Structure 1
């Protein structure tokens, strides 16, 4: 607990209030106060300089709307001038709120998650929340270490795109301890927490049906971690669309686990050498699809006319490639904002239903998924 009382100015030839000799003190060039070197500055120093209460100083440093803007600016400038650093840990002990929220995803390098993070960050920062972010890389031990660190910092809540291997019990344990938790993008069955995610079955079904409508009957499914809900649901949507069209899904090329552009680049030779070589590909995400396209060209297979390719997520730039990528818009901004708002409701003490909230996806039909032999986009000049 910090002491908010500034040391009294010692009189010459007498001891200071704590019994120290006058020679142990120095005069602050900014404030004119005497202090012992190494003694931490407190809210009281700022309050005395400005003639306001320590409560006003504390609120101002937290950007509270209860304090006039002019006063907030004066407090912050004075704090900067004297080198005061706000003690968030001490404040959290007084208010039971740390103003810290943890956000954990499996791939922050994926532009889709960068868009999700940007949207939720805007909402949380409007409410004065500081964000700690973890890129757990689908390593459940890494995720657990991050969550333990959050608990040590008395975080107000957690937004989690759960790692493969996350158990229902560990999420429910957090909720049972009173920690607000919101899942996003991936679901863990049976948890006592809300989940905000896209309707992956519907999206995968729509893009696969589009390829069928273009005349394709050999449609491969490329990528997706099937241990995650997103991987399972998109795979299910692909299979369902094929089955509904009378196409045997078990005879199609089906390659799981691929997630990145590097994965997409590496898998092209295997696709071209497969016995059940497809004429169209439904990729788990845009990264896998975009990774494939230049490698297909180098192997004299033109994306679109020679191999129809679709992605998922509609990341920034997907529509500006040659050919422009057909994909599923998974509404990163909506998912991010709703995840943040849902967590803030929990932090405020509201009871939020622990059921998935599905965001309806939109199919974006572009040039990369024509009927076989048809070119919709311009020929790329190399």
Structure 2
């Protein structure tokens, strides 16, 4: 076929096997006088196959890193594709294989370092398997989440890892699974779904932390934060309640501020703490971000976190051990949760039946300086 027809010609025999650059580049991009040939003409696997003298099937396998193709051939195919600007058509491939190599990941706060660590761990696992990740920060907006899930179905995604938004129903997750989308929940559980959930044992972690604070002699212990309509918020609140009740302390007489999630929320909560006639001597925060906000807000009004008011967090995000005072918190194993969620989803994609029961990760207390016994200083005093 001639260049006038807009199709690239094969390199002539006189050019030899070594002159690949002159062959495909000139044929695809310009004629002998440098005039572009049909701008916008899409490169195909056939162009690369003709250039290298191999079949289009071999080119396709090489671009997908198939072990069926010799390594030197894979390298030649990829080098040629890069040189001529060929982009592998995943949409077409997914129609042939029923696999798109796309995984959706949706969480409510990607800015939270805890979820950044979960995402990093699961991304490492998925990358090893050649999967591409689409991520959604739904911000606990269920409509935003639903739009993302619809897009995943439209793109024939291979699977979904979901930290469900507040307001997510059992029915809508089960509908996704019924439509053939393998799904694994992470961090938050929704009762009755046909999908596994990988999460920390939030009730146990909160219960153990509150028991620890009680053992230090504190009797007025406030609970700050947590969306109680999520399983995480409910479970951490339930752990606090259980520990207080076992100690004979009425939770109704303690400060309890729901719905707070961020450092800004923690700073803002200090006003409610100061307004009480009998202030708490210890505050159990829903997560590390709220705890860090509380510490900053208290220090601004002249109350020293630790000796003057004990503070605990939850998650053990990066950097909390280097604060002054270092934060006492619950290690929630973000990396382990991320890896297990990815591996669990890959098992489902491979066709394995995975039990729908929660996969609980054991929490660990990290005892540091921010929650001593009443009036005790564990951290160095910050000079004025």
Shift of 1:17: 9.5
- Other-structure match for 1:244: 246
- Other-structure match for 1:143: 145
Report if aligned partners of 1:285, 1:311 keep a CA contact under 8 Å in 2.
yes
Please point out which of 38, 41, 57 is paired with 1:39: 41
Shift of 1:217: 0.5
Aligned equivalents of 2:72 and 2:380: distance in 1? Answer: 58
Residues 326-365 of structure 1 correspond to what in structure 2 (within 5 A)? 326-365=328-367
**Distance 1:277-1:36 versus aligned 2 partners, 3 A rule:** same
Report if aligned partners of 1:252, 1:276 keep a CA contact under 8 Å in 2.
no
> What does the per-residue CA deviation read over 1:119-176, in whole Å, with 9 as the maximum and x for residues that have no partner?
0000001000000000000000000000011111110000000000000000000111
Give the TM-score normalised by the residue count of structure 2: 0.92
Give the TM-score normalised by the residue count of structure 1: 0.92
- Other-structure match for 1:9: 2
> Structure 2 regions of 5+ residues with no counterpart?
8-21, 32-36
- Other-structure match for 1:78: 80
**Distance 1:64-1:276 versus aligned 2 partners, 3 A rule:** farther
Report if aligned partners of 1:31, 1:49 keep a CA contact under 8 Å in 2.
no
Number of positions where the alignment pairs a residue of Structure 1 with one of Structure 2: 363
Report if aligned partners of 1:251, 1:276 keep a CA contact under 8 Å in 2.
no
Report if aligned partners of 2:24, 2:84 keep a CA contact under 8 Å in 1.
no
Give the aligned CA root-mean-square deviation in angstroms. 1.6
- Other-structure match for 1:30: 25
The DSSP-based 3-state class of the residue aligned with 1:77 is helix
Shift of 1:75: 1.2
Shift of 1:381: 2.3
Report if aligned partners of 2:205, 2:236 keep a CA contact under 8 Å in 1.
yes
> What does the per-residue CA deviation read over 1:185-216, in whole Å, with 9 as the maximum and x for residues that have no partner?
00000000000000001000010001000000
> What does the per-residue CA deviation read over 1:319-373, in whole Å, with 9 as the maximum and x for residues that have no partner?
1000000000000011000000000000001111111110000000000000111
**Distance 1:65-1:265 versus aligned 2 partners, 3 A rule:** farther
Aligned equivalents of 1:44 and 1:372: distance in 2? Answer: 75
Shift of 1:9: 2.7
The DSSP-based 3-state class of the residue aligned with 2:311 is strand
Residues 157-172 of structure 1 correspond to what in structure 2 (within 5 A)? 157-172=159-174
> Structure 1 regions of 5+ residues with no counterpart?
1-7, 19-26
The DSSP-based 3-state class of the residue aligned with 2:25 is coil
- Other-structure match for 1:24: none
- Other-structure match for 2:126: 124
Aligned equivalents of 1:17 and 1:331: distance in 2? Answer: 57
Aligned equivalents of 1:86 and 1:208: distance in 2? Answer: 54
Deviating runs (4+, > 4 A) in structure 1? 15-18
> What does the per-residue CA deviation read over 1:284-337, in whole Å, with 9 as the maximum and x for residues that have no partner?
000000112122112110000000000000000011000000000000011000
Report if aligned partners of 1:197, 1:358 keep a CA contact under 8 Å in 2.
yes
Please point out which of 316, 319, 332 is paired with 2:318: 316
Please point out which of 205, 208, 211 is paired with 1:209: 211
